[in-house]
Amino acid sequence: MIDSEKYASAVVVSRRDFAPDLWVIRVKPETELPFRPGQYVTIGLPRNGRVIERPYSICSSPTEEAIELFIERVPDGELSTPLYELQVGAEMVVRRRTKGLFLRDAPVTGQPHVFVATVTGIAPFVSYLRTLAGKARNGEPAPDPVMALQGASRSEELGYAEELRALDAEFDWFTYVPTVSRPWEDPGWDGELGRVEDVLRKHADSAGVRPGHGGVFLCGHPGMIATARAIMRRRGLSDKEIREEQYWPD
């Protein structure tokens, strides 16, 4: 029996597959689910008398009707494996409260910031950028400079690359830098090379991030976060200037 005070049901309204094991779904909960860009929703599937649930960062902007999620299927993952089977029309449950403090302090007015993501770690930044873009299109003043660095093994895993390239072309305040770490498996790729943490320092410098001026926001793989944090600490940034959302434990 599902606790209806805790959970609402939600229906998958669309699905887009990017690469093997990487896909985007849009889900419509039966209830309002208010959130801020940068927050996550906990979704679940009932299995054997209990709900298997995990948090997922929200990609959509709060003004959109559906909740959009960018998900990676983890080998033998307890939830991501059955989630991968869900097609349009399938049902799941969502916790009625969204959570998370990531990006709560962005933007730091008058200062540049760099968003750093591994693959699905781009999700909270997409929500934030869609929201900023919506405001800019409505005539609000241009926000402070934002750069998004997104790393993947191959370019097919760079979900949202097209959307982010279009934002980069539309707005002076936004720069998108995708980077690929296995170019030998991706012969057509002519963009940035290396893991996102390998190219972070030079791009953060070029964005104007320095101690006491701007900050970096790291999201996704725990190994990337640990390395990127150490690199930015060596650059002189304080803990307050380095924010992180880690998707699983080290």
Ligand X SMILES: Cc1cc2nc3c(=O)[nH]c(=O)nc-3n(C[C@H](O)[C@H](O)[C@H](O)COP(=O)(O)OP(=O)(O)OC[C@H]3O[C@@H](n4cnc5c(N)ncnc54)[C@H](O)[C@@H]3O)c2cc1C
Residues that bind ligand X (CB under 6 A): 40, 54-57, 69-72, 74, 77-81, 100, 120, 123, 245, 247-248
CA distance 47 to 99: 24
Amino acid at 155: S
- At residue 151, the 3 state secondary structure works out as strand
- Min separation Cβ 47 and ligand X, Å: 11
Question: Whole-angstrom Cα distance, residue 226 to residue 76?
Answer: 25
CB of 61 or CB of 120, closer to ligand X? 120
Question: Are the beta carbons of 70 and 160 closer than 8 angstroms?
Answer: yes
| Residue 192 or 245 having the CB closest to ligand X | 245
Amino acid letter, 101: L
* Closer Cβ to ligand X, 21 or 198, answer by number: 21
* Residue with smallest beta-carbon separation from ligand X: 77
Determine the number of helices (DSSP H) and then strands (DSSP E) in the chain.
5, 12
Q: Which is nearer to ligand X, 73 or 135 (CB)?
A: 73
The C-alpha atoms of residue 217 and residue 209 are separated, in whole angstroms, by 12
CB of 250 to ligand X, least distance (A): 9
Minimum distance from residue 88 beta carbon to ligand X (Å): 19
Least Å from the CB of residue 124 to ligand X: 8
